């Protein structure tokens, strides 16, 4: 199902923050300030210790209803959002779009109005079209918050925040770091959100490493240094973020073959040697082993990929509590 959205009158960055400076929606990293991003990370820290508790639940969103509205499949993202909501004591409803009235011809606005009639409080939206979450945020009832769980090639802000949380836990001060993002930058909503977050946090250097066919035009304007050679780009970096090869989004012969891609841009133990000795390896998942990363690296001592999944719950709890105006004090 492909939907076309009218250009709304306000940018997503402007509608997601209230006049008082708090989050109302969470649609994009772009336009946020360092203080607000740091508040999200600090709030997530207060929830992270819950993993060590016998009862992993707080009553911050008790009585609230959260709806996972996924027009695009993603087991890991949907599951971590659901766990985050339930650990905040919210009621959660998962809508199977493939079997919903939307497939039968019901418009998106009709679907929203019907869900609003059920007195829900938050939509978690994942959609293949850029701008879908912004469109929904413009049209929902005033009491409802919208969180973007990934829209087209545009943004995946909660993934970027859990990545920032993971980096901060391992490395601390962003201003001293060299971070390299490797792979399909052109089709990656994750990369865009990561780049915005890293620059807002004043990261020392942000690099992107990819063949020319997988880079957006004028990508340097995003505040990154561009490398086409993997070894040169990885030299002395502190954080390596590998991206999934977005095969389902690519059109045309952008790459000769997956095998050749791995030969040139796949992360192996040998290639990782040029990075800093304590460099960490990240991947938003799901990883294509043998395409963008070798299994020995993905499962190796420098990999923090599973930590990213764990941290995603705490970060999404933080964002959900903040948009609902809940005070997480005493959560830990």
For 197-250, the pLDDT digits (tens) are: 999 999 999 999 999 999 999 999 999 999 999 999 999 999 999 999 876 545
Position 7 pLDDT exceeds 70? no
Could you write out the DSSP letters of every residue in 142-184? TT-EEEEEEETTTB-HHHHHHHHHHHHHHH--GGG-EEEEES-
User: What integer best gives the mean pLDDT of the chain?
Assistant: 89
pTM value is 0.91
- Token digits for 111? 């679907």
CA–CA gap between residue 281 and residue 298 (Å, rounded): 8
Q: Which residue has the tokens 């973020």?
A: 241
Q: Are 93 and 68 in contact (CB under 8 A)?
A: yes
Cα within 13 Å of Cα(242), Cβ side: 32
**DSSP β-bridge partners for residue 182:** 209, 242
Q: Are 120 and 67 in contact (CB under 8 A)?
A: yes
Residue-level length of the chain: 332
Instruction: Give the pLDDT confidence score for residue 6 in this predicted structure.
Output: 44
CA–CA gap between residue 263 and residue 292 (Å, rounded): 9
Domains and CATH numbers, the chain: 12-152+310-323 (3.40.50.1370), 157-301 (3.40.50.1370)
Position 61 pLDDT exceeds 70? yes
Q: Are 8 and 139 in contact (CB under 8 A)?
A: no
Q: Are 310 and 269 in contact (CB under 8 A)?
A: no
- Token digits for 67? 């709806």
Position 105 pLDDT exceeds 90? no
């Amino acid at each position: 199902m492909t939907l076309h959205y009218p250009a709304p009158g306000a940018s997503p960055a402007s509608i997601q923050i209230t006049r008082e400076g708090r989050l109302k929606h969470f649609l994009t990293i772009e336009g946020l300030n360092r203080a607000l991003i740091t508040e999200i990370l600090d709030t997530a820290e207060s929830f992270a210790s819950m993993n060590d508790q016998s009862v992993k639940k707080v009553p911050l969103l008790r009585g609230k209803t959260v709806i996972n509205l996924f027009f695009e499949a993603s087991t890991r993202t949907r599951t971590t959002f659901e766990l985050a909501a339930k650990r905040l004591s919210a009621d959660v409803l998962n809508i199977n779009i493939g079997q919903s009235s939307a497939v039968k011809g019901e418009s998106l606005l009709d679907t929203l109005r019907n869900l609003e009639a059920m007195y829900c409080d938050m939509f978690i939206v994942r959609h293949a079209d850029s701008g879908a979450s912004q469109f929904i945020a413009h049209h929902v009832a005033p009491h409802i918050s919208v969180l973007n769980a990934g829209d087209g090639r545009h943004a995946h802000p909660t993934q970027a925040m859990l990545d920032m949380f993971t980096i901060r836990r391992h490395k601390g001060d962003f201003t001293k770091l060299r971070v390299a993002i490797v792979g399909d930058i052109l089709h990656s909503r994750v990369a865009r959100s990561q780049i915005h977050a890293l620059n807002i946090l004043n990261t020392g250097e942000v690099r992107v490493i990819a063949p020319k066919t997988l880079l957006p035009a004028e990508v340097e304007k995003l505040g990154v240094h561009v490398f086409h050679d993997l070894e040169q780009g990885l030299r002395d970096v502190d954080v390596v973020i590998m991206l999934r090869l977005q095969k389902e989004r690519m059109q045309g012969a952008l790459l000769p073959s997956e095998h050749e891609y791995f030969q040139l841009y796949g992360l192996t133990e040998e290639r990782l040697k040029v990075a800093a000795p304590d460099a960490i390896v990240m991947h938003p998942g799901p990883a294509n082993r043998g395409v963008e990363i070798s299994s020995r690296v993905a499962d190796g001592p420098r990999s923090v990929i599973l930590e990213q999944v764990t941290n995603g719950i705490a970060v999404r709890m933080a964002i959900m509590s903040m948009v609902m105006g809940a005070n997480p004090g005493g959560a830990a």
